[in-house]
Amino acid sequence: MPHSSSCILIHLVFSTRNRERVLTPALQADLHPHLAETLTQLHCPPLQVGGVEDHVHLFFGLSPAHPVAEVTETVKDRSAKWLRARDAALAHFHWQTNYGAFSISHLEAETVANYLRNQVVHHQKMTYQEEFRRLLKWYQVAFDEKHVWD
């Protein structure tokens, strides 16, 4: 697709398995650039990466060559392997199976980027699960509470 043009912006969010709070601020300082680099390697330009101890948010431009599910699987797989290799305490690290992926208008890009930059402050008042429910409702995504946390 050498002449393909697109502007598909994706806000991707997923948590650690069982929302384990293992992503310390020091670890996040290295993990977030690693996630951004993985997106770059997939030709999905990273716009902002954020998160806290139990989840991450990735905001990026989707490459016309890759479906969202493929990008998500690759990012989760590579970062889980990277985390397990980095620290023996994370030898059994896994991301949750499910994720949320939301399309974002280019007109709202800066709002989303700011939201991701302020995750630490935001999560002083709201848990990941409360945030995720709120995102699903905001984007009008039907969900079954008993399956969304797998």
pLDDT in tens, 49-74: 999 999 999 999 999 999 999 999 99
pTM of the model: 0.91
Question: Residue 3's pLDDT is what?
Answer: 61
Q: Give the start-to-end residue ranges of the domains of the chain.
A: 9-138
pLDDT in tens, 81-93: 999 999 999 999 9
Q: 9-138, which class in CATH?
A: alpha beta
47-51 long-range contacts (CB < 8 A, ≥24 apart) are 47/9, 47/109, 47/112, 47/113, 48/112, 48/113, 48/116, 48/117, 49/116, 50/115, 50/116, 50/117, 50/118, 50/119, 51/23, 51/116, 51/119
